[in-house]
Amino acid sequence: MTDTNTNQTWIILGASSTIAKAFTRSVAEKGAHVILAGRRMDDLKATADDAKARGASDATTVIFDARVPDTFQTIIDLANTQAGTLNCAVFVGSMPAQDAIDADPTLVDGTIADSFTGPARFLQMLAPSLIERGQGSIVGVGSVAGDRGRVGNYVYGAAKAGFATYLSGLRNALGRHGVHVLTVKPGPVDTAMTQGLGKQPFMTTADAVVQDIDKALQKKRNTLYTKWIWWPVMTIIKLIPEPIFKKMSI
């Protein structure tokens, strides 16, 4: 991000998620224009009002469904009409319980579309505009669950792993054009997704995740684990040899 924040436009995909809302506030308070994209229009409008009261130079709402690529072009067209720096933050994703997927394997397609193929196709469509402007940032939210396939949620994990690999390639491709790509890997966050689960190990809040994202953007970090403790934890988990790991249920 550059200093002239009123010249910043942020496309926020999955803007109804708890972390997206916290992120929207953070950029709104710096005066950015936010384009809130998601499925629940009422909720997006309420977030837009909140953003404007906090100082966003403007807040627009637009329908986005990761499973319906026809919704993508309208958002790209809208973004292209904005002057200044264009940025995109991706918070879409869904996490059906693994046993629900076991019972109904068709859920695999939606899970992968929400967390991986939908956002990947969108970013692929957006990339030329960013390259043309020669600046801007992309924030892609993956998950520590993508670092290793675990018995408890490996379809969700696989989708997030795919997205993380995609972001890594996108960073490679766009970095040479002045566009920064940040991969965020949160552990459990106290959000709508984790409601009712009670306290989880190293649980953090959406606001804390957003503060970390903010710092990582300023420092142009590539990958961010939040809380930071997940970096050593996942490093160790990744090192466990497969013959042993396959017998574990962590």
Partner 1 sequence: MIWAKDQSYSGWGRALRAKGDIASPDTVENLRNEGPAIGNRRSYGDAPLNSGGKAIDMTKLDRIISFDRETGLLTVQAGITLGELTRVFAPQGWMPAVVPGTGFATVGGAIAMDVHGKNHHHAGSFCQHVTAITLIQDKPRKITPKTGALWLATCGGLGQTGLIAQATLQLVRTRGDMMLVTEQRARDWDEHLSLLDTSRAPYTVGWIDATATGEDLGRGIVEEGETCKGLRPTARGTKKVPFNAPHWALSSPIVKLFNATYYRRVPKTGRTVVRTVQDFFFPLDKIHDWNKLYGKRGFHQFQCVVPLDQSEALRTIMQTIATSGLASPLAVLKRMGEGREGYLSFPMEGYTLAVDFPNRPAARALIKRLEAATLNAGGRLYLAKDALSTGPAIKSMYPDHSKWARAVAKADPEGQLQTDMTRRLDLRTPQQ
Residues that bind partner 1 (CB under 8 A): 18, 29, 43, 46-47, 49-50, 53-55, 190-192, 195-199
Give the separation between CA 87 and CA 85, rounded to whole angstroms: 7
Compute the least distance from the CB of residue 8 to partner 1, in Å: 18
Q: Which is nearer to partner 1, 31 or 162 (CB)?
A: 31
Q: Which is nearer to partner 1, 24 or 183 (CB)?
A: 24
Q: How many CA atoms lie within 13 A of 227 on its CB side?
A: 11
Helix (H, G, I), strand (E, B) or coil at 205: strand
Classify residue 184 by its DSSP letter.
Answer: E
Q: Which is nearer to partner 1, 146 or 186 (CB)?
A: 186
Give the separation between CA 171 and CA 147, rounded to whole angstroms: 18
**Residue 170: both structure tokens together:** 């996108």
Asked if 159 contacts 114 with a C-beta cutoff of 8 angstroms, the reply is yes
Q: Which residues pair with 137 in a beta bridge?
A: 180
Compute the least distance from the CB of residue 92 to partner 1, in Å: 17
Give the separation between CA 206 and CA 154, rounded to whole angstroms: 23
Compute the least distance from the CB of residue 18 to partner 1, in Å: 6
Compute the least distance from the CB of residue 30 to partner 1, in Å: 11
Neighbours of 154 (CB within 10 A): 15
Q: Which is nearer to partner 1, 48 or 167 (CB)?
A: 48
Q: Which is nearer to partner 1, 50 or 131 (CB)?
A: 50
Cα of first residue to Cα of last residue in the chain, in angstroms, is 38
Q: Which is nearer to partner 1, 54 or 150 (CB)?
A: 54
Compute the least distance from the CB of residue 48 to partner 1, in Å: 11
Q: Which is nearer to partner 1, 157 or 187 (CB)?
A: 187
The H or E element containing residue 204 is strand 204-205
Neighbours of 112 (CB within 10 A): 21
Compute the least distance from the CB of residue 4 to partner 1, in Å: 17
Contacting residues for 128 by C-beta, under 8 A, at least 6 apart: none
Give the separation between CA 141 and CA 164, rounded to whole angstroms: 8
Compute the least distance from the CB of residue 52 to partner 1, in Å: 8
